[in-house]
Amino acid sequence: MLEIRDLEISFFSGKKQTRRTDRVSFSVRPGEILALVGESGCGKSITALSILGLLPRQGRVTGGEILYAGKNLTALPEKELDEIRGREISMIFQDIMYSLNPVFTVGNQMIEGMRRHLGYTKQQAKEKAIALLKRTGIQNAEAAMRKYPHMLSGGMRQRVMIAMALACGPKILIADEPTTALDVTIQLQIMQLLKSLRDEFGMSILLITHDIGVVAEMADRVVVMYAGQCVEEADTKTLLEQPAHPYTQALLSAVPGVNDEPGRRLYSIPGAVPETYHQMTGCRFAERCPYAGNCPKKGEMKSAPDGRPVRCDLAEKKGREAHGA
Amino acid sequence: MNSSGFSLIMKRFSRHKTALVSLILLVIMIGAAVLAPVVAPYSPTRPTGSFSAPPDSAHWLGTDQIGRDMLSRLLYAARISLLVGFMATVISTAIGVVLGLVSGYFGGWIDKMIMSFTDMVMSFPYILLVLVAAAIFEPGLWSIIWILGFVNWPGVTRLVRGNVLSLRETNFVKSDVAAGMPRRYILFSEILPNTVAPVTVYATSVFALSILDEAALSFLGLGVQTPTPSLGNILNGAQSLTILTGKPWLWAPAGILIILLVISINLVGDALRDAIDPRNNG
């Protein structure tokens, strides 16, 4: 449905070019929730932004393609991209502080948007806006329409954002860390909301997150990113039970569990994401990898024993056992 | 902005007592100036009494050197000075906002070009620029308005550009782009309203500054020309020492009026800044 193929995004400062993602490939299938997981700075957010052409000024897609409905979005002129934005693919963001225009009421911005985009009359737009707000779980939708963003709680604002993103009935919703700025209880509510909306509207969701808990709760499939590369792709169950890449394994053991024996020290991955990862050749995780000892460290895509792609030279031969998990 | 936002601003504004007094003063002064043809007792340009007569019951503020009523002249002068200040502010705000929006939103070489031009105008010795311009163009009401309008916009441009730069990174602007909204809509319907508050505050100081500049230029004889009265050219008549020491009714009221106008406008502007600031709650 949406296919990202060998995507390379570079940032430019002056003449200096920094490759922030390296041959990122994955696809979003109809009706699924695909999670893109990784640490901060691994390139997951810019990958998401590039889909709708929202990269910051310094950033540019320098290789690969993003295919949607037979069109390469990276090569599409702005005007045609605008046809897809919002209507076919829409997006919600992490920061809830400034995701709504502070000088207009909620109703105002929703109605204006729909009149522009769908050619609704004021009354039609208003009815649709109230219906959408109700659907996203805002109890007193009529009252919320008259409020300014600063009068709403974070959870409410995110609900309004979701309602706005759904206005044109998109086929794909990109959610860039939609719950990171929210309380845990509200996080769960928003997650459940997104999931039920997916079921109701039959859309796909591309979920960007660093939270394995959110992945376990929400996603059908997972793509793990590390230092600008995809390192592993699997359905959620397989990934959680049999992580093939040492980075994924490390991520999972860094999650505290209720069943942990008391006094277990929380695992943390030694070292940090190398800052100059774009200049590295070979395996980018090698420095932090516990199995780096007798590994060729080429960092090429291999197949795990069950056939799924893993960027680990040891994956093919020995599988998970070799890594000892 | 709808009624609830407006009433909130009024509530916060009215907590500044000095600003409230200033606002009332300002309304009275502007009212008197606008209604000058109605409230002025005499014509501002025709002699109606004896020369340089001190205040009496017929001429409350006395008469000037050629027998014109000072109160009437002052009312008309305030009208002219306020008009100059207001129009100059409108012109510089309009130029500043448009250039700032374009510069901040589009960036790249457009931004570089506009900003270097802005810096150029800003780095020019201000009073010299005004003097040269006043010397080149025929002195008069409209040339002084255009000149002051053209020297005060760079501040507005920088203010708006800075605002736009931070606004274009906010998620509501990104959401608009992600929703496929036209650029024109984003720029004028989403970003522009967010700059209204700071621009309004800044404009009040441009207003006060323009009134002062008009007074200075007219005082030097390069601004509004007699017989049209302005606060500056009334002061211009008070350049001689005998008038300065012996006939204060010829210059003191105009001076006081300038001070009152400028202080009131600035105080109102300050209170406005506090009242509009969204971080200022309750």
Q: What is the pLDDT of residues A81-97, one digit of tens each?
A: 988 998 899 999 887 67
In A, minimum Cα distance to B166 occurs at: A98
Q: Which residues contact A281 (CB under 8 A, 6 or more apart)?
A: none
Question: Cβ contacts (< 8 Å) between B185 and chain A: which residues?
Answer: 116
The one-letter code for the residue type at B52 is: S
Are A92 and A165 within 8 A, CB to CB? yes
* DSSP 3-state of A121: coil
Close Cβ partners of B269 (under 8 Å, ≥ 6 residues apart): B201, B204, B205, B208
User: Looking at the domain assignment, is residue A191 inside a domain?
Assistant: no
pLDDT in tens, B96-106: 999 999 999 98
The distance from CA A284 to its chain's CA centroid, rounded to whole angstroms, is 21
The residue extents of the domains of chain B are 3-42+69-276
Looking at the DSSP bridge assignments, the partners of residue A61 are A9
Q: Is the pLDDT of residue A192 over 50?
A: yes
Distance between CA atoms of residues B161 and B154, nearest Å: 10
Q: Residues A78, A53: contact at Cβ < 8 Å?
A: yes
Chain A residue numbers with beta carbons less than 8 Å from the beta carbon of B111 are none
State residue B212's pLDDT score: 92
Query: By the 8 A CB rule, do B191 and B101 touch?
Result: yes
Q: Among the ranges B32-41, B45-54, B130-139, which has the highest mean pLDDT value? A: B32-41
The band of B136, judged by pLDDT with boundaries at 50, 70 and 90, is confident
What interface predicted TM-score (ipTM) does this complex get? 0.78
Which domain does A139 fall in, by range? 98-169
Interface residues of B toward A, Cβ cutoff 8 Å, are 1-2, 4-5, 107-108, 169-172, 174-182, 185, 189-190, 193-194, 196, 278
- Please give the average per-residue pLDDT across B19-24, as a whole number: 92
At residue A218, does pLDDT exceed 60? yes
Q: Is A216 on the interface with B (CB under 8 A)?
A: no
Instruction: Indicate the pLDDT class of residue A174, thresholds 50, 70 and 90.
Output: very high
HSE-CB at B241 with a 13 A cutoff on CA atoms is 0
Q: Flag whether A14 is in a domain.
A: no
Average pLDDT for A281-302: 83
Chain A partners within 8 Å of B5 (Cβ): 103, 148
Q: How far is A109 from chain B (nearest CA, A)?
A: 9
Q: Minimal Cα–Cα distance from B127 to chain A, Å?
A: 38
Provide φ and ψ at A94, rounded to 5°. Answer: -75, -50
CA distance A249 to A18: 28
What is the rounded average pLDDT of the residues A149-173? 90
Kindly state whether A118 is in contact with chain B, defined as any CB-CB distance less than 8 angstroms.
no
Whole-number pLDDT of residue B199: 93
Structure confidence at residue B4 (pLDDT): 57
- For B3-42+69-276, which CATH class? mainly alpha
Tokens of B98: 């448009």
Does B2 score more than 70 pLDDT?
no
The whole-number pLDDT of residue A207 equals 95
Considering only CB atoms, B190 lies closest to which of A92, A101, A146, namely A101
Q: Which of A86, A103, A146 sits opposite B1 (nearest CB)?
A: A103
Contact B177 A85 (CB under 8 A): yes
Residues in chain A: 325
Q: How far is A14 from chain B (nearest CA, A)?
A: 12
Average pLDDT, chain B: 87
**Interchain pair A90, B181: CB under 8 A:** no
Annotate A158-199 with DSSP letters as a single string.
HHHHHHHHHTT--SEEEEESTTTTS-HHHHHHHHHHHHHHHH
Q: Is the pLDDT of residue B26 over 90?
A: yes
- Pick the last residue of a domain from A122, A143, A169: A169
Cβ(B248)–Cβ(B54) under 8 Å? no
Most confident of B144-148, B204-208, B226-230: B204-208
Number of C-beta neighbours around residue B225 at 10 A: 16
In a domain, A15, yes or no: no
pTM, whole model, 2 decimals? Answer: 0.79
pLDDT band at B278 (very low <50, low <70, confident <90, very high): low
Chosen domain end from A126, A150, A169 = A169
**Are residues B189 and A112, on separate chains, in Cβ contact within 8 Å?**
yes
Does A26 reside within a domain? no
- What are the chain B neighbours of A99 within 8 Å (beta carbons)? 170-172, 175
pLDDT at A50: 93
Taking all residues of chain A, what is their mean pLDDT, rounded to a whole number?
87
Q: Is the model more confident about A78 or about B239?
A: A78
| Alpha helices (H) in chain B, listed in sequence order | 3-13, 17-34, 36-39, 70-106, 108-123, 126-136, 141-151, 153-167, 171-178, 183-185, 192-219, 231-236, 241-246, 252-276
Chain segment B226-260, per-residue pLDDT in tens: 788 899 888 887 778 888 888 888 888 999 999 99
Higher per-residue confidence, A283 vs A317: A283
- Which residues have CB under 8 Å from A57's CB, separation 6+? B107, B108
Please give the residue of chain B at the shortest CA–CA distance from A52.
Answer: B178
In a domain, A25, yes or no: no
Cα A211 from Cα A255, distance rounded (Å): 9
pLDDT digits (tens, 9 = 90+) for A87-136: 899 999 887 677 888 888 999 989 988 888 788 899 999 999 999 999 99
Q: What single letter denotes the amino acid at residue B192?
A: L
Domain count, chain A: 2
Confidence of residue B88 (pLDDT cuts 50, 70, 90): very high
Residue A75 included in any domain: no
Residue A321 has pLDDT above 70, yes or no: no
